[in-house]
């Protein structure tokens, strides 16, 4: 009550400004709103046998540079494969025989889609699907394979092979 | 009593003040939380700054996380302000009455937040695996 009316109004203004600044910070820096989505893009499709831990909004990288984002992942009940929609920036065109693979950045990092350009003269058109895909590496399968090979290479290789 | 309308003079400004400031406080504290994470992760522990922000942006979705947080805080603001105003308005004008009203406000609003949080969460995450 001791505060003058004008001082009080000033503090209210400071409070509201701080609140709006916090919201802006959350929206742009943390939420990455408008980081990539504003640029016009086209969608291509890729079928994977296994997408592993790939998530929607994961980056699509070509030569290590982000050129797009995963916009949708769903299961196709007819082919029993995962259909992944890739939103690629309009500035980048890729040949028809480009290949995609699901890779991991770092040992425990996020998974991303690596898009490798092919040598075809014709370019991909929006909505087209990529033919050459490489699934995510599943660690359990890798370990299983390693153990199997290890057992195979041992003394009882004849029994194991049969 | 004086010929004043207590609803208009006392209740309404407090109600709107609290309802408007709740989402702002929520936004500020979320920003502070992220900044705290930045301070510990990047400054203290030496995580790469670019990696920090890219992971943060990959994990946080504007609609699902930030907008829903703001909606929740606004609903909580309405609920706890109404409870506090009712208890204050209803309190006997004695020292004991005021302290009892304060205690009841704290207890009731924490329970209300618990219940509302449950309901809002089940609405917001419907259909999200």
Each residue's pLDDT tens digit, A111-130:
888 998 888 888 888 888 88
Nearest to B57 among A20, A25, A35 (CB): A35
B66 burial (CB, 10 Å; 0-12 / 13-18 / 19+) is buried
Do the chains contact at A57 and B53, CB–CB below 8 Å?
A: no
CA distances from A101 to A54, A62, A138 (A): 11, 11, 13
Q: Is B43 on the interface with A (CB under 8 A)?
A: no
Structure tokens at A18: 């701080």
Three-state SS at A64: coil
Radius of gyration of chain A (CA): 25
Q: Is the pLDDT assigned to residue A162 strictly greater than 50?
A: no
Contact predicate A99/A118, CB 8 Å: yes
User: Residues B100-113: pLDDT tens digits?
Assistant: 999 999 999 999 99
Q: Do B61 and A25 touch (CB under 8 A)?
A: no
The answer to whether A16 contacts chain B (CB < 8 Å) is yes
State the pLDDT confidence band at B74, using cuts at 50, 70 and 90: very high
CA A157/CA A15 separation, integer angstroms: 74
- Cα separation, A127 vs A54, whole angstroms: 20
| B interface test, pick of A31, A66, A112 with most B CB neighbours within 10 Å | A31
Is it the case that residue A83 has pLDDT exceeding 50? yes
Q: Nearest residue on chain B to A54, judged by CA atoms?
A: B58
Q: Is the confidence at residue A34, as pLDDT, over 60?
A: no
In B, which residues are within 8 Å of A14 by CB distance? none
Which of B14, B19, B27 would you mutate first to test chain A, the one with the most A CBs within 10 A?
B27
A19 and chain B: CB distance < 8 Å anywhere? yes
Question: CA of A61, closest CA in chain B: separation in Å?
Answer: 14
SS3 for B108?
helix
Q: Please give the Cα distance from A81 to A63 (Å, whole number).
A: 26
Task: Return the higher-pLDDT residue of A36 and B49.
Answer: B49
pTM (2 decimals)? 0.61
State the pLDDT confidence band at B2, using cuts at 50, 70 and 90. low
Q: Which of A44-48, B25-29, B50-54, B124-128 has the least mean pLDDT?
A: B124-128
ipTM of the shown complex: 0.72
Chain A residues near residue B48 by CB distance under 8 angstroms: none
Structure tokens that stand for A151 in this block: 């057992």
């Amino acid at each position: 009550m001791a505060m003058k009316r004008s001082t009080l109004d000033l503090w209210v203004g400071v409070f509201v400004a701080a609140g709006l600044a916090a919201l802006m910070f959350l929206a742009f820096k943390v939420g990455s709103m408008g980081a990539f989505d504003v640029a016009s893009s086209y969608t291509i499709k890729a079928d994977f046998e296994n997408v592993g831990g790939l998530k929607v909004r994961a980056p699509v990288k070509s030569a290590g540079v982000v050129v797009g984002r995963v916009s949708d992942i769903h299961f196709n009940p007819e082919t029993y494969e995962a259909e992944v929609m890739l939103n690629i920036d309009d500035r980048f065109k890729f040949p028809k025989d480009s290949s995609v693979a699901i890779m991991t950045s770092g040992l425990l990092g996020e998974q991303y889609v690596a898009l490798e350009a092919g040598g075809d003269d014709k370019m991909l058109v929006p909505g087209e699907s990529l033919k050459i895909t490489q699934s995510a590496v599943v660690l359990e399968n890798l370990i299983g394979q390693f153990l199997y090979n290890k057992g195979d290479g041992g003394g009882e290789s004849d029994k194991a092979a049969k | 009593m004086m010929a004043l309308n207590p609803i208009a003079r006392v209740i309404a400004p407090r109600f709107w003040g609290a309802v408007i400031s709740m989402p702002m406080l929520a936004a500020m504290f979320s920003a502070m939380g992220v900044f705290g994470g930045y301070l510990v992760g990047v400054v203290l522990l030496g995580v790469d700054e670019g990696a920090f922000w890219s992971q943060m942006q990959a994990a946080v979705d504007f609609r699902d996380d930030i907008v829903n947080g703001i909606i929740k805080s606004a609903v909580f603001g309405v609920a706890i302000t109404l409870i506090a105003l009712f208890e204050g308005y209803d309190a006997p004008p004695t020292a004991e009455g005021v302290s009892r009203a304060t205690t009841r406000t704290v207890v009731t609003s924490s329970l209300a937040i618990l219940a509302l949080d449950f309901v809002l969460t089940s609405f917001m995450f419907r259909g999200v695996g």
